[in-house]
Structure 1
Amino acid sequence: MKKIGLYFGTFNPIHIGHMVIANHMVEFSDLDEVWFVVTPQSPFKTKKTLLDNHHRYQMVFEATKDFTKLKPSKIEFDLPQPNYTINTLVHLEETYSADFKFCLIMGADNLKSFHKWKNYEAILANYELYVYPRISDGAIEDQFKNHPKIHQVNAPIMEVSSTFIRKNHALGKNIRALLPDTVWHYMDEMNFYR
């Protein structure tokens, strides 16, 4: 049974930070694959700067096409909005349970607010969490420290953000080095974030 790490995000756009973390997870943990789950709309984010779902999915597809262990996923596109992780996990379980064991990938900043997630107890009871380091304020709750289902993965700290990329691209800065080449070409061709 393959162990799949689910890396949720709007990927608006996907950048080298996302790629480095996903690749590190799949090469230096017991995960067999990482699926980039492109989120149509987060309950915590407004939609005004979000590109259409299919464009963000296409950029993830472009970024991952040469990596056999990294896959794009649009599984959330057909689920009711706003989308909660627990619902996606249940849906994936019903669709693929015989072939895959699903796990969550998240940054340490998300783990600090994990107790606010919908049904976080059910998530933790049924799924493993793979956490990568992030520089952020706040503390991880005691209940999540040394938890048998929470694995701290010593991935490189990537302080690159999609917000930074969008903002500076609009200002005419050269942000090409922060994006996989294929993503840069797609973004440039489509004239996104200008």
Structure 2
Amino acid sequence: MKKIGILGGTFDPVHYGHLILAEQARGEAGLDQVVFMPAMVQPFKLNTKIAEGHHRYAMLMKATAGNAGFAVSDLELTSAKVSYTIKTLQEYKSRLDENTTLYFIIGTDAFLSIDKWFSAEDLLKEYSFIVGTRPGYKEKELKEKVERFREIYDTQILQIKNSEVEISSSDIKDRIRKGKSIKYLLPEAVEDYIYQEKLYL
């Protein structure tokens, strides 16, 4: 049985926080591959300006180069529709053989609000989840949600401990606008691409 993890997001830009979460999920959950899935339009960011899809895709390709356990999909970027997780996972799964299990990789905060997502019930019934956790962070609330989802939907949920990395895409963009260094916050190839394409200025 092959195991593939899907890590979705805007990745605007991708940084080491994303890459560390993906690698730790791959290792701890025994995934064969982690697929980065950049969104074209996220439901929660409809009024937020983001870099064009081809730029975010290119940065991901540069960031994941050299790691055979990583891949990048343009599935959502090739659709003009809003990116709903359930629809993306259904479409991606339809392209795989039956012996593949899909896991959706997600952080604690996003998981705690997942029952408010589009078609949340189907999402929790049909797919498995890998939740990145931090010691002492909303542990009681998370434990209650995990138990409830398992009881109601029989959801397969794996919890992994991911390193606490204080890096955010919004901070990186703010630093670029202010002329501050972004070195060591993201791969050098991504940094070079950002300045080459004059992104976030």
Give the TM-score normalised by the residue count of structure 2: 0.88
Query: In the alignment, what sits opposite 1:170?
Result: 177
Amino acid paired to 1:171: K
Amino acid paired to 1:69: G
Query: In the alignment, what sits opposite 1:183?
Result: 190
Question: Superposed, which structure 2 residues align to 1:16-165 within 5 Å?
Answer: 16-98=16-98, 100-133=100-133, 139-140=141-142, 142-145=144-147, 147=150, 149-165=156-172
Runs of 4 or more off by more than 6 Å in structure 1?
Answer: none
SS of equivalent to 2:124: helix
Shift of 1:81: 1.4
**CA distance in 2: counterparts of 1:47 and 1:39, whole angstroms:** 14
**CA distance in 2: counterparts of 1:82 and 1:133, whole angstroms:** 28
What's the CA shift string for 1:49-94, capped at 9, x where partnerless?
Answer: 3111011000000000110001111111233511210111111122
What's the CA shift string for 1:6-30, capped at 9, x where partnerless?
Answer: 0001100000110111111112222
What's the CA shift string for 1:128-165, capped at 9, x where partnerless?
Answer: 100112667x9438342373611110111222110010
**CA distance in 1: counterparts of 2:47 and 2:37, whole angstroms:** 17
Q: Please say if residues 133 and 157 of structure 1, whose CA atoms lie closer than 8 Å, have aligned partners that are also in contact.
A: no
Mark the CA change 1:187 to 1:99 in structure 2 (over 3 Å): closer, same or farther.
farther
**CA distance in 1: counterparts of 2:23 and 2:74, whole angstroms:** 19
**CA distance in 2: counterparts of 1:78 and 1:72, whole angstroms:** 13
**CA distance in 2: counterparts of 1:53 and 1:80, whole angstroms:** 11
Mark the CA change 1:78 to 1:18 in structure 2 (over 3 Å): closer, same or farther.
same
What's the CA shift string for 1:101-124, capped at 9, x where partnerless?
Answer: 211000001011011011122112
The worse-fitting range, judged by mean Cα deviation, of 107-116 and 94-103 is: 94-103
Q: Please say if residues 112 and 141 of structure 1, whose CA atoms lie closer than 8 Å, have aligned partners that are also in contact.
A: no
Q: Please say if residues 9 and 37 of structure 1, whose CA atoms lie closer than 8 Å, have aligned partners that are also in contact.
A: yes
Alignment RMSD: 2.1
Mark the CA change 1:142 to 1:80 in structure 2 (over 3 Å): closer, same or farther.
farther
Amino acid paired to 2:167: V
Give the unaligned 5+ runs of structure 2. Answer: none
Shift of 1:39: 0.5
Sequence identity percentage? 31
Tell me the number of residue pairs that the alignment of Structure 1 and Structure 2 aligns.
194
